C-alpha cells in the first residue's frame, strides 16, 4: 500500500500556517521490514524559536475567539478525522506496525478526545465564592498561553489529540513534537486541522531532534506549559529542564500494571480482560498488564485457558485483515522483551507457551511464563511487549502488597465477583486508575493519569481542561 498517495499524507511540518521542509531530514521507516517510507524535516533552532514567538502572537487572538466558535472548529476537525479514518489508520499501521483494526480503533479513540473537548470548550466555568468580608471573590479560568507537547510512538494519534484538543478548547496555542518513529500520523492530523480552519499558529507540528526540541521547548519562557507522554527517565529530565522557567507540567510516564485475578473471578471474563490489556498494541502501552497475579485455587485452570487464547493470536503484517499482533516498533524493543523472558526463566519461572530467543527483525512471539516472582526483572521494569508473566498469590493482603511494590502507579486491574473485595482492593491499590472486571479502561470522558513515578496531571474528562487553564482570583472590594 502506497500511503504517500493518500490525500491526507504529508511529510512537511506545519508552522504558523506554513508547510515547511528542510535540507536536513529524518527517515521514517516501516517496522515491518525497516524499509524507508519517506523523510520528514529536521527544523533548525531558529525556525523552532520563531514558531514559539508566532504561537504566542496567535494565542493572544485565539483566547479571545468565542468559546462556541472554538468548539465549532474542534467539531469540524473531529468530523474530518472520522471521514478520513481509513487513510489515517493505514498511515498509522505502516509507520507504527499495529494491526489495521487497532489503528482504526485508535483513530476513533483519538477523535473522541476532539469531540469531548469541543463540548468542554463551552464550559470553562469560573466561580463566585461567598466571602465574610465586604467583598466578593471571583474566580476566572483563563487560558495558560503557549503550550508544548511531546508525544510517543505507541499511540501516534490519540496521545496528540488528548493534549491538543483541550489546549485549543481552553484558548491556548500548541506546538507538538511527535515521536520520530511516527510523525506521519501527526502530520496527517495537522493537515485535517488546517482544513477545519484553525487560525495559523494555534496548532503547529515540529519534527527533528527530540533532545534539541525538548531543550528549546523547556528553556523558552514563552512556553507556559509542557505535556509529555513517555518514559519516567525522560519525563524527569524534562521536569528538571522546565524548572528555571517554572512551567506547568502534565507528565504521563511509565507503568508497571498489575492484574489481580481472585478465586471469585469469572474466569472467562478474566482471561478476556488479560488478553485485552496485555496484548493491545503488542503489549506496547503504558497501561498494559505487566504482572499477572493469580490466586492459588484457580492458578492452573486460569493458565490453561489463557494459554489457549494466546496461541490463537495471529502475528503478521498489520495491513492483513486477520492479523492480531504486528511487529514491535524496533529491534531494541524486542531485545528488552527477550531479556525479561530470559531473566525469568533463568531464575526458575516456567515457559507455558511462546518463543524465547532467536527472533528475527522486529518480531516477538506472544509468550506466557508461570511461577514468576517479585525478584525477577519483569516484576520491577515495564516490559512493553507481548510477554505475560504469571505470579501465584494466596491472600488479598499479600497481593495488594506485591502490586504496590513498585515505583510506578499508572493502571491496575482486578477481577472478582465479590463486591466488598472490589471496593477494598480498589482502595488498597496505589494507582491512578483501576479497571474492575475489564482490561480496557481508556475513555475520553475519564481522567487518565498516574501517581508516584507514573506522572503528574490527568488527561481527558472534565478535569483535562484544567491542565490548560490558570485560575485568576479577582477580589471585588467595597460592595456595600
83 Cβ contact partners less than 8 Å away, ≥ 6 residues apart: none
Question: Hey, which residues are catalytic here?
Answer: 252
Give which of 34, 38, 9 is closest to 25, Cα–Cα: 38
Looking up cell 469531540 gives 115
Give which of 256, 208, 223 is closest to 382, Cα–Cα: 256
Secondary structure class of 110 (helix, strand, coil)? helix
Give which of 426, 433, 427 is closest to 455, Cα–Cα: 433
Least distance (Å) from ligand SIN to the CB of residue 25? 28
226 Cβ contact partners less than 8 Å away, ≥ 6 residues apart: 147, 148, 149, 150, 217, 218, 238, 242, 247, 248, 249, 250
String marking each residue 149-178 x if it binds ligand SIN according to CB under 6 A: -----xx--x--------------------
The answer to whether residue 30 forms part of the interface with ligand SIN (CB under 6 A) is no
Least distance (Å) from ligand SIN to the CB of residue 209? 22
Secondary structure class of 46 (helix, strand, coil)? helix
| Residue nearest ligand SIN, Cβ-based | 442
Secondary structure class of 153 (helix, strand, coil)? coil
Output 287 or 352, the one with its CB closest to ligand SIN.
287
String marking each residue 226-255 x if it binds ligand SIN according to CB under 6 A: ---x----------------------x---
Task: Choose which of 91, 249, 257, 286 interacts with ligand SIN (CB under 6 A).
Answer: 286
Q: Would you state the cell numbers that stand for residue 321, as one nine-digit string?
A: 485483515
In this structure, the number of other CB atoms found within 10 A of the CB of residue 114 comes to 30
Least distance (Å) from ligand SIN to the CB of residue 287? 5
Least distance (Å) from ligand SIN to the CB of residue 161? 11
Least distance (Å) from ligand SIN to the CB of residue 49? 29
String marking each residue 117-156 x if it binds ligand SIN according to CB under 6 A: -------------------------------------xx-
Task: Choose which of 14, 143, 213, 287 interacts with ligand SIN (CB under 6 A).
Answer: 287
The answer to whether residue 204 forms part of the interface with ligand SIN (CB under 6 A) is no
Output 274 or 399, the one with its CB closest to ligand SIN.
274
Sheet holding 469-476, edge to edge: 127-129, 136-143, 469-476
186-212 residues labelled b (16+ CB within 10 A) or e (exposed): bbbbbbbbbebebebbbbbbbbbbeee
Least distance (Å) from ligand SIN to the CB of residue 252? 6
String marking each residue 439-458 x if it binds ligand SIN according to CB under 6 A: ---x-----x----------
Task: Give contact residues for ligand SIN (rule: CB under 6 A).
Answer: 154-155, 158, 229, 252, 285-287, 442, 448
Amino acid at each position: 500500500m502506497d500511503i504517500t498517495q493518500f490525500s491526507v499524507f504529508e511529510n512537511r511540518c506545519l508552522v504558523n500556517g506554513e508547510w515547511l521542509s528542510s535540507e536536513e531530514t529524518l527517515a521514517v521507516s516501516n517496522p515491518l521490514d525497516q524499509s524507508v517510507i519517506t523523510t520528514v524535516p529536521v527544523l533548525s533552532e531558529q525556525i523552532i524559536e520563531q514558531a514559539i514567538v508566532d504561537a504566542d502572537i496567535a494565542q493572544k487572538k485565539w483566547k479571545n475567539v468565542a468559546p462556541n466558535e472554538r468548539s465549532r472548529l474542534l467539531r469540524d476537525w473531529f468530523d474530518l478525522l472520522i471521514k478520513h479514518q481509513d487513510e489515517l489508520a493505514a498511515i498509522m499501521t505502516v509507520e507504527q506496525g499495529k494491526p489495521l483494526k487497532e489503528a482504526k480503533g485508535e483513530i476513533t479513540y483519538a477523535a473522541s478526545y476532539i469531540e469531548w473537548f469541543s463540548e468542554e470548550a463551552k464550559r470553562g466555568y469560573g466561580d463566585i465564592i461567598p466571602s465574610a468580608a465586604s467583598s466578593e471573590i471571583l474566580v476566572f479560568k483563563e487560558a495558560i498561553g503557549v503550550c508544548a507537547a511531546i508525544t510517543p510512538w505507541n499511540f501516534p494519534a490519540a496521545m496528540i489529540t488528548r493534549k491538543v484538543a483541550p489546549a485549543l478548547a481552553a484558548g491556548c496555542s500548541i506546538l507538538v513534537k511527535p515521536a520520530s518513529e511516527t510523525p506521519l500520523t501527526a502530520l496527517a492530523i495537522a493537515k485535517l486541522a488546517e482544513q477545519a480552519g484553525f487560525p495559523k499558529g494555534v496548532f503547529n507540528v515540529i519534527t527533528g531532534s527530540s533532545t534539541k526540541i525538548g531543550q528549546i521547548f523547556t528553556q523558552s519562557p514563552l512556553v507556559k506549559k509542557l505535556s509529555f507522554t513517555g518514559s519516567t527517565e525522560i519525563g524527569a529530565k524534562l521536569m528538571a529542564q522546565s524548572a528555571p522557567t517554572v512551567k506547568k507540567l502534565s507528565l504521563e510516564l511509565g507503568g508497571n500494571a498489575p492484574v489481580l485475578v481472585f478465586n471469585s473471578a469469572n474466569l472467562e471474563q478474566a482471561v478476556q480482560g488479560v488478553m485485552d490489556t496485555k496484548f493491545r498494541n503488542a503489549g506496547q502501552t503504558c497501561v498494559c498488564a505487566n504482572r499477572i497475579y493469580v490466586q492459588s485455587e484457580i492458578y492452573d485452570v486460569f493458565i490453561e485457558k489463557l494459554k489457549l487464547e494466546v496461541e490463537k493470536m495471529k502475528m503478521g503484517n498489520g495491513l492483513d485483515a486477520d492479523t492480531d499482533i504486528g511487529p514491535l516498533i524496533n529491534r531494541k524493543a524486542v531485545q528488552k522483551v527477550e531479556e525479561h523472558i530470559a531473566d525469568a526463566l533463568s531464575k526458575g519461572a516456567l515457559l507455558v507457551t511462546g518463543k524465547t530467543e532467536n527472533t528475527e527483525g522486529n518480531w516477538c512471539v506472544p509468550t506466557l511464563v508461570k511461577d514468576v516472582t517479585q525478584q525477577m526483572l519483569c516484576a520491577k521494569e515495564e516490559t512493553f511487549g507481548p510477554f505475560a508473566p504469571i505470579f501465584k498469590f494466596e491472600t488479598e493482603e499479600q497481593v495488594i502488597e506485591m502490586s504496590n511494590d513498585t515505583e510506578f502507579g499508572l493502571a491496575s486491574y482486578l477481577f472478582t465477583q465479590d463486591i466488598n473485595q472490589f471496593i477494598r482492593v480498589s482502595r488498597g491499590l496505589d494507582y491512578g486508575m483501576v479497571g474492575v472486571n475489564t482490561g480496557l479502561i481508556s475513555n475520553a470522558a475519564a481522567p487518565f493519569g498516574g501517581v508516584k513515578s507514573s506522572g503528574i496531571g490527568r488527561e481527558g474528562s472534565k478535569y483535562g481542561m484544567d491542565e490548560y487553564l490558570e485560575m485568576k482570583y479577582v477580589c471585588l472590594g467595597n460592595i456595600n
